[in-house]
Amino acid sequence: MKVCIAEKPSVARDIAEVLGAKTRKDGYYEGNGFQVTWTFGHFCTLKEPHDYSPHWKYWSLSDLPIIPSQFGIKLIENNGVEKQFRVIESLIQQCEEVINCGDAGQEGELIQRWVLLKARCAAPVKRLWISSLTEEAIRNGFQSLKDAAQYDNLYAAGSARAIGDWLLGMNATRLFTKKFAQGKAVLSIGRVQTPTLAMIVARQKEINAFVSAEYWELKTIYKKVEFTAAIDRIVIVERAEKGLAYLKEHPFEITSFEKKEGKEGNPRLFDLTALQVEANKKYAYSADDTLRYIQSLYEKKLVTYPRVDTTYLSEDLHPKIAGILKDMTPYANLIAPLLEKPIPKLKSVFDDKKVTDHHAIIPTGMYPENLHLDEKRIYDLVARRFIAAFYPECKISNTTVLGKVGQVEFKATGKQILEPGWKEVYANDAPAARDGDKENDEPAEEGEKILPVFEVGESGPHEPRIHKGKTSPPKPYTEATLLRAMETAGKQVDNEEMRELLKDNGIGRPSTRANIIETLFRRKYIEKKKKNIFATQTGIDLIDTIENELLKSPELTGAWERKLRLMEKGEYAMEAFRQELTEMVIALIRDVKNNTGRSISFAPDKPAEKEKKEKDAAPPKPKAPKKAADPTAATCPKCKAHPVKKGNTAYGCANFAVCGFKVPFEAFGKKLSDKQLEDLLSKGKTGKIKGLVTPNGEKDGRLAFDDLFNLTIQTS
């Protein structure tokens, strides 16, 4: 018997239907040599700190960093999950082969691999990898099953991402909460969440600090066309008035008339982020809402796999495009012109080099029936974008007219659509024609003025005036512009080609960005007013508290994302990524523990203060018997589990990568003797050190560890 494991019951039902597994059992379908079962999303998760050590259940600065030597997984505590897992486990133990039918992406791979690992699967595993759930796609997928080992790198990247998020999230959240939080507040820190919040806070501060200033522009009307002076904005009204008086003394003269024909390229096919951007602009849908709607359309077989980050199709899809278009009967009037001749194999649409695991989101050709309004809207966005991709380019005429009044130059521009091309697809749906690239939610440009023909050298009377305006602050993020900023690691990029190049360095992945934004809302770090997103005071205070730029840097987080993508290709080692995060966590904890001088808005950590007082009040340890000085004879005073070893510049714990403990050979300008180092390691302090000045100005102080195992100077 072959066991197929799908990610959802509805997908399992579709697969069972195609395979002929018609008999419904408790938790699976059976028939024709197959048993088809399912998960419902994540069944397993990484173990929590207390699963490794009961001591780690309680939050304490002295326990940080928390870095398990080996990471383990466990079942999510849920009765439904536990019951269905027992079904899967039982089927796997008795089968001849397992077919992984999870979502064909990194997260889907991780979900299924963890289930197989937890169920101790010993059977050979195949992988079903498909881009849609139509009957044809499922049949073709089962005819070309892949060996599961082909996706080991994908699994490695998913595991590395989960472990990296655990390492940073668990340690940094406990660190900042215990160090800075007031009362029972939890300061949540995340590898992707924190730099995203930092971008919002930075924009918020720009807005808050902005001071609006008045300015004046000189304008004039000549032959019913408004021209604007091609000079810097005037900031003193008296100068504007003098300028106006000057303009009244001279006629208007045309110095240049230029008309250029051009093209507006077709909009790109949708990846998930572009779809979320467009849906937010047009319908104010949140990123999370759009993801739910497009996922539902995928499960209803109406669109292809949605959690993608490419806007291209693989070249082998070209012969199928005409058939898909023919089946899209609700759009027959728009499609008819396309079917009059062969579908062009456009490089802007088909490019194998730009397609990884999946291609852009497109319709499958299945007829959309019984959809609720929100799903209809999302389907319509995808369908029209797909159709528009194969229409002719939009031909336009751009007109630029230059003139002068005396010595003051003026300019006017206009645009005319000569052949609408792909814009016909949006003739009755103008807002959807927006390219989704511009940060401002402005109307489409079709309504720009058409300028009359002017002759160079012509001159005549005009109507000058002063236009008074005010400078505007930076615009707050909307979900659309925030998604774009996450995609480009905070860089402002309008060019589509450049955006494609930056996607590998974006913050988060298309499938996770919506959840990151929702998490920030849920934790009340950000809030929404109409469509605009603002940082709350809590969010601002949190970012201000974090001095470590690594935690807040979109560029660094983007670089990590790129390494995860390289890992998927087998070009970067999982252990190297984990080690980078481990070293960062150790350094972060050391820096924050030492941070005592920064004024922040959170109350001091009173439990830690109490712990320190109790430690200071504890009776001194008995003196060790005299012996030859040997620092390496000591056990690490921090973890109390590993010996001390000598390095090039310091003695440190033999398990330094995890523990992080070390003592330098030289401290506070004093080179330490072996005896002094041994005393530090065995007793926690040295004897008097000649010339070591204490904070009180006394001479001959002692070195000692504080409760965080950092060196301090004590009075003698």
Annotated catalytic residues are 305
Tokens of residue 146, six digits: 């892949």
For residues 15 and 596, what is the distance between their CA atoms, to the nearest angstrom?
60
586-620 burial code (b ≥16 CB/10 A, e <16) = bebbbebbeeeeeeeebeebeebeeebeeeeeeee
Cα–Cα distance between 235 and 217 in angstroms, integer?
A: 9
- For tokens 């029209």, what's the residue? 384
CA 237 to chain centre: 46
Return d(Cα 691, Cα 671) in angstroms, integer. 12
Instruction: Find out whether 375 and 301 touch, Cβ atoms under 8 Å.
Output: no
Can you tell me the distance from the alpha carbon of 650 to that of 680, in angstroms, rounded to the nearest whole number? 13
Pairing of strands 44-46, 73-75: antiparallel
Give the distance from CA 515 to its chain's centroid: 9
Helical residues (DSSP H) of 488-636, grouped into ranges: 496-502, 510-522, 537-545, 549-552, 554-568, 574-593, 606-617
Residue 563 has which token pair?
């390494």
Closest by alpha carbon to 176, among 168, 161, 186, 164?
A: 186
Retrieve residue 156's tokens.
């490695």
Among candidates 357, 244, 246, 242, which has minimal Cα distance to 308? 357
Q: Which residues does 651 contact at the CB level (< 8 Å), separation at least 6?
A: 631, 632, 644, 645, 662, 663, 665, 677, 681
Single out the residue of 108, 118, 116, 107 nearest to residue 72, CA to CA: 118
Q: Which helix (H) or strand (E) holds 479?
A: helix 479-487
User: How many whole angstroms separate alpha carbon 106 and alpha carbon 5?
Assistant: 16
Q: Which residue has the tokens 């215990």?
A: 178
